[in-house]
Structures are given as C-alpha cells and as structure tokens.
Structure 1
Amino acid sequence: MSDRTHRHAAVLGHPVAHSLSPVLHRAAYHALGLPDSQYGLHDVDEPELEAFLTTLGPEWAGLSLTMPLKQVALRCVDVVEPLAEAVGAVNTVLLQPGGLKVGANTDVYGLVQALREATPRPASGGHTLGVIVGGGATAASAVAALGELGVHRPRVLVRSIGRAGTVLRAAASMGVEPELVTLGSDRATGLLREAEIVISTVPGGASATLAPLVAEMSLDPAQVLVDVVYEGWPTPLPTQWLASGGSVAPGYLMLLHQACEQVRLFTGRQAPVEVMRAALLAAIAGS
C-alpha cells in the first residue's frame, strides 16, 4: 500500500457485518501513519465475488476474505500462492500493478503465531501429540500450521471420515500424515485426554456437544486448547477445558495474527501487533 496509490482494502463475506477485521486494520493504519488508507466492509456472496473483483482499480491494495468466499476465491484470482492452493483456501487477495490478483492464505500464519504465543513449551516435532477437531477448510489450515511446527502426524477428529477430503488433500500437499478418528469414539476421547495441543475448528454448537467429554477429564496446564471461534467466546469446549485443568488460547489470537500478516502484505510495513491487540480486545469487550 504505497503512499501515492494503493490505499484501499476491505473485508468481504456473507454475512460480514460482524467482522472485526476493520477494527484491526484501521488501528494498524493509524499507528503506521497512513491516515489516508481506507479499510471497508462489503457484503459479498459467492456468486458475486468475481464481478466484485473486476470493479477494483489501481487504488486497491488487497482484500480480506471470510466465509463463504475462501474456496470460491481459488477460481476468481489470476494466481494462487502455493500455501493457499495446498490448504484449499484463499483468505487474502493481493492486488498487484497491472491488475493481477493473487490469492494468498494468512490463516496458517495466524494459527502458527497463536500456537507459539499460547503453548507453554514449544512443539517438539514428532514427540508432540497434536489433535485437530473438525475436517473443513480451517482444519486444513490447522494441519499446515502443526506441520510448520514440526508435528507431521496430527490426529484429526471428524464426524464423518468420508467428508474429510479437504484435510487429506492439504496434508498430502504438505507431506503431513494425519490419522482420521471418528468423533464420539473411545479413541477420540482418549486422544483429547492425552493431547498436548488441541485445535478446535468447530462452531459453537458442535463445541457444546464435546464439552461433556472433557468434563470427565483431569488435564494438565501444559495441555493447550486453541479455539479458532471468537464470536460468542468462550464457547462450551474451551470453558470446560479450562475447568478441567488445561490451558486455553482465546479464539481471537488467530484472527489477530492473520490480520497482522495481511497488514504487512498490504502496506509493506511490519504490523503494530500490540496496538492491534488492544483495539481488538476493546471491540470484543464492547460487544
């Protein structure tokens, strides 16, 4: 986002009114001394994304994408970066000179940074038991994040193994070998009890069905649960995980750090992490 042109960015999604991305980006641009930079919010559904992209002029630096646009964006950009292609999700569109649209993924970066911030001790590769709950696009990003931390054999708990294709494709692209385990089985419960790192990618309703399983466990503070959900935080699963003795990383950590990477990509400057964190916490407290 140069000082002469590329001053516009926005978050797109449907629905999108709840998004806290504007809070994060506007706080960053103000702190970076970019008062003319604008960050908006547009309600755009899947059938509308390609047409919306054609309206963007040279003043645009990039876009943040939320649901349900992360998969359809793969077909609407000119170039897809390897990581975004591997996980099957684009959450960032970079607008290059000449109108080239590049699809990128900062969710993986956000998860890696959230794990590094939240984990009492660093992951030790094959010796760390990492468990992912859920099998969608965010779970694919979680597979990539654990792989980057050296955990190459994560266990993935899913309701239907036959619907875990997104995770399996992402894992194959990155040399990660996940073990799929059916949620609700004794094996899944045992893995949750033993895990050093758990990443929950399921919505609040599904979280409520898992909380009773954790209620019967005695966990250690070194066992960390990262919940990617920040709306309605805390959801039942992290609430019970904490009550059972484990440690919990709030859902906003991934949101914060993925936005920090977007700011760097949009502006070419390092993001003011603590300024963005303070703005985000204030917005969450206000809501």
Structure 2
Amino acid sequence: METVLGVIGSPISHSLSPIMHKAAYDELGLDYTYHAFHVESNELKAAIDGVKGLGLKGLNVTIPHKVSVIQYLDHIDPLAKEIGAVNTIVNDGGTLIGYNTDGEGYVKSLINRLGTSLTNRRVLIIGAGGASKAVALSLAKSGVETIGITNRTLSKAEGLSLICSPYTQSEAMTLGIAQARLTEFDIIINTTSIGMTPDIEKMPISLEKLSKGSFVSDLIYNPFQTRFLCEAEKKGANIMNGVDMFVYQGALAFEKWFDKEAPIKVMKDTVLKNLGGVK
C-alpha cells in the first residue's frame, strides 16, 4: 500500500485532485495511485489510523477535516501549526507529519502570474475564514508592504490582522470602508465562497472604485470566472481564478511526498481540460 495516496473530505466526489495527481504520476512514470476517500467527521480518526495501518504514503485533506485532523497526527509543521490547519499528510516511516500548502501555493501562483516579487505590494483580502488565514499569513511573510483584511464580521478580520501584524503592516476594516478605499490596493483577493455555484450572481464587495491595472484574484474556480472577476476585467484589471492556487498547493504536496519537482504544466493543463477553461 506504500504506492497509494489520496484525498479525504466530505463531500469529495467533485474533487479534481485524483485526475491532477494521476497526470503527474503518468508524466514522471511513477507507479502510484491516488484516490478520493469520502470520510465523515465521525470516521476521521479511523481513517488516519488506517494511513499507518495500511502504510499509505500520504494524504491530502480538505473540507471539513483540515482543523480536526491535527489531533490525530504525530507532528505538525510550524507553518501549519501557525495557520491552525493541515491539508497535506506525509507518512514518514509510520510518523504522520501535517503540512499546509494552501498559502504557499497561493503565493507561488500569484508570483508566477505577476512575474515579479510581492515587495511593496498593497493587498486587500476579502474574508477571514480558514482559506483566508493561510493566504494572509503566507502573504504577510512574503514581503508585501501592507495587508488590509475585510470581513462581514469585523472581529474576525481584526483577529486575522493581529496574526499577520508581526510580519507586515496589517489593518482590519469593514466592507464599506474597504470598498471606499479600494484604490489604495494593488491586489484584491476574494477568499470567501461568495460567487460560487449556484450563487453565481453574488459579489463579495463592489468594485466601483477599482483602479485600472489592479490585480484581482478569486480563490473560486467553479464557475471558472466569477462575476467578481468578470466585473474586474471590465474595469481593466488583470484577473486570476482559483485554478493556479489549486494546482500549486497540489504540486507542493507532491514535492513533499516524492522529494522531486512536480510537473506543474501537466497538472494545470489536466485541471483546465476538465474544467473546460482556457485562462
């Protein structure tokens, strides 16, 4: 079973991880299989015990287990501990090590798309949930100049701002203030589920004051281009959906399992083909 990997979550049938990782294994001639395992919350401990018992090489972890899985692991990487969530498990000779590649994957995808470092960038993050924390903390450590965090519940934005403050200048703000001050930011990132199928007409904030040439990112990739990104593009912004983050977080997990560079282009092309997208 050392040749078996997979992803656990609930629901999980929609996951593109199996096809993405299979494409990577085929490209590099690796004799491994990757499966999607539907695991309910009350089955989580048994599933993690099974990783050791069956000798699986590792797992990805998705909703709703990223936080609760921590208690069943032997060691947590410092970044994952700081984020408070795990999305990748490595079975190192029976020792289960938890990592979080979401934030780092997002930063890598952003730098790749921008073609430059993040130094002196002013970032607005919309949302203060689990995905927001990984993205915000990783961006704070990447050298951005400032991070603004806005959320429907201001106290959550304040909490996330406090976590980022040791690494960069950060500020929490209401949605109204964020909309009024939109021109102050070079990069605007939606980390919420607002605009996801089936509620595709919704937007997390108004882009009325968006500056031309801004970079607008949405972690959602279903729909492939949210209304938020469509409106941003109409205003002359450069845009990025959630595909790149998904691919890069998967590539980082691959590299932790195999200690070799992931075939990112093949992985991304496979995901795009299955989504029917072109951007």
Please give the TM-score of this superposition, normalised by the length of structure 1.
0.88
**Structure 2 equivalent of residue 255 of structure 1:** 246
Q: How much does 1:251 deviate?
A: 1.1
Segments of structure 1 that go 5 or more residues without pairing to the other structure are none
2:248 maps to a residue whose letter is H
Q: How much does 1:165 deviate?
A: 6.9
Q: Indicate which of 187, 212, 226 corresponds to 1:220.
A: 212
Segments of structure 2 that go 5 or more residues without pairing to the other structure are none
Is 2:277 the partner of 1:281? no
Give the number of aligned pairs: 273
**Structure 1 equivalent of residue 76 of structure 2:** 80
Summarize the alignment of residues 122-271 of structure 1 with structure 2, pairs less than 5 Å apart: 122-124=117-119, 127-151=120-144, 153-164=146-157, 167-168=160-161, 170-171=163-164, 175-183=167-175, 185=176, 187-205=177-195, 208-210=201-203, 213-214=206-207, 216-217=208-209, 219-221=211-213, 223-271=214-262
Structure 1: which 4+ aligned runs deviate by more than 6 Å?
Answer: none
Q: How much does 1:152 deviate?
A: 5.4
Which is richer in helix? 1
- Larger RCO of the pair (alpha carbons < 8 Å, separation 6+): 1
**Structure 2 equivalent of residue 19 of structure 1:** 15
Q: Indicate which of 44, 49, 53 corresponds to 1:54.
A: 49
Q: Is the 8 A contact 2:161 2:171 kept in 1?
A: no
Is 2:72 the partner of 1:71? no
* SS of 1:69 mapped into structure 2: coil
Q: Is the 8 A contact 1:217 1:244 kept in 2?
A: no
1:66 maps to a residue whose letter is T
Deviations 1:38-79 (A, max 9, x none): 100011122221111111235411111111111111222111
RMSD over aligned CA atoms reads 2.2
Q: Is the 8 A contact 1:22 1:39 kept in 2?
A: yes
Distance 1:92 1:109 in 2: 12
